Structure 1
Amino acid sequence: MSDRDDIVERLAELAAAIDARDWDSVRAAFLPNAHAYRQDGADAIVRHLSEHLGGCGPTQHLLGNHRVAVDGNTARSLTYARVHHAGAGPAAGKSLECMGEYDDRWVRTPEGWRLSSRVFDMRIFQGDFDVFRPAEP
């Protein structure tokens, strides 16, 4: 598998892990000191995502238009995303759809490619941000 194909596969695995709320797999996609979602460190990134999505209904991250540039043991990928979030609990019946682009930086490690940073440039959104909420205790 080429480095490009491997990174595209890692992107798909991360999207599926987020949708499944598989926080261990999400954490493993990032370097321990990564920066993403305005958070520093893999644990903070996972905590932030779980606070936003833990009480949200189903989500689906659709990715495409992958552009990957590899430079030795580092890489950058730009990926279009369309993400649907369904409401749950008090937000049942509501939804939020975000469209934009992920700007990801990667580092090759002995375990494979890991994210060192992620920025999502949300260009379009439709719906209600109230769907984001932590899981019920």
Structure 2
Amino acid sequence: MTDDDRRHIVERLAAFAAALDRRDWEAVAAAFTPDATGYRRTGRVEIVATIRAHLGGCGPSQHLLGNHRVEIDGDRARSLTYARVYHQGAGAYEGRFYECFGEYDDRWERTSEGWLIASRVFGMTMAVGDFGVLQPG
């Protein structure tokens, strides 16, 4: 593993978190390989649709990432990243929040566009607040 590879993956994770919070669906899709699995779906279109069904109608969110552990094996990698994600309610849910804590387990592939997520699983360890805050938009 080179420091450049590790840094690139950690930067991709940060850019992805920011894309989620900005609701930049094109950037969210571009983080994945075309046939990726994630959020219990397969393929970029399905993954983005699932994410939009949760974030599209809620208020502001913030995805905080840390404790990055990255293992690289040639053109494949795995990262484990702690996450604390805050979601603010909107509309009928204004004044409410939902916050979850857990760990992303991402599998990566080196492509001509750089490192992309081939598989993503979020293992939630705790949650507080009102899950109803997560709404499609």
* TM-score computed with the length of structure 2 as normaliser: 0.97
The one of 83, 101, 104 equivalent to 1:102 is: 104
Unaligned runs of 5+ in 1: none
CA RMSD, Structure 1 to Structure 2 (Å): 0.7
- State the distance in 2 between where 1:100 and 1:12 align: 16
Query: Cα distance, 1:134 vs. partner?
Result: 1.1
Aligned structure 1 segments of 4 or more residues deviating by more than 3 angstroms: none
The residue number in structure 2 matching 1:82 is 84
The residue number in structure 1 matching 2:51 is 49
C-alpha offsets along residues 67-86 of structure 1, whole Å, 9 cap, x if unaligned? Answer: 00000000000000000000
- State the distance in 2 between where 1:68 and 1:102 align: 12
* TM-score computed with the length of structure 1 as normaliser: 0.97
Query: Cα distance, 1:93 vs. partner?
Result: 0.8
The number of aligned residues is 135
3-state SS of 2:108 partner: strand
The residue number in structure 2 matching 1:69 is 71
Unaligned runs of 5+ in 2: none
Q: Aligned AA for 1:25?
A: A
State how 1:12-51 maps to structure 2 within 5 Å: 12-51=14-53
Q: Aligned AA for 2:72?
A: V
- State the distance in 1 between where 2:69 and 2:54 align: 28
3-state SS of 2:101 partner: strand
Query: Percent same amino acid at aligned positions?
Result: 61
Query: Cα distance, 1:117 vs. partner?
Result: 0.4
- State the distance in 2 between where 1:45 and 1:131 align: 20
